[in-house]
Amino acid sequence: MNAAPSDLPGFQGSLFDQGTDIGPGPLHGLRRTELAGGAWVDHLPGWFHGADALFEELVAHVPWRAEQRRMYDGVVAVPRLLAYYPEGRPLPHPALHEAREALGAHYAAELGEAFTTAGLCLYRDGRDSVAWHGDRHGRSATRDTMVAILSLGDPRDLAFRPRGGGPVALRVPAGHGDLVVMGGSCQRTWEHAVPKTRRAVGPRISVQFRPHGVG
């Protein structure tokens, strides 16, 4: 069902993102962390200019929906709001199209195909989260791929651990235009999560760009 996020807590913009232009910056500052089993994570803080302005536009204009999922003997609410833009559907802001094209060009040699879809998650406060998982639906269950995440709004930690459990091996803060790209075998051999937090945090939007058939 549609869920207009009219009750979001106050959003505190970044002091370092006060420009009027909205769009991606250069990608030459990416830093790669190699993980075990052929997985890796790229991170570029502050990649997207005008991230706070884009955040406010997406909150207001994306058709956010609340979902429920069956768990054990009951039905529970998914702890975040969602939106999905399949291949061929225009993205909710032209700057997101620019970002997807820039990422596709940068990673063309490694990925070998384009990013074609976009999934959006709105984390309203620290109670919203996503549990440990890998994006293993479709082709990513059996082959290496990439998922690129643009984070807008207040930073939240994106945590990584080996598939099947174990201690957190990497924790990446992501917000205010930061970019995180998961590549190699990351979806098959590692898990990632946005844990709940008791800290006073504002809302955050995660925009996930994926190739065709990766879910």
pLDDT at 211: 97
Span 50-66, average pLDDT:
96
pTM of the model: 0.91
pLDDT at 32: 98
**129-138, 176-185, 204-213: range with lowest mean pLDDT:** 129-138
Span 195-212, average pLDDT:
96
pLDDT at 213: 92
Closest CA to 47 of 175, 134, 212: 175
pLDDT at 71 over 70: no
- d(CA 60, CA 67) in angstroms, rounded, equals 19
Q: How far is CA 2 from CA 52, 63, 128, 154, 204, in A?
A: 23, 7, 17, 23, 18
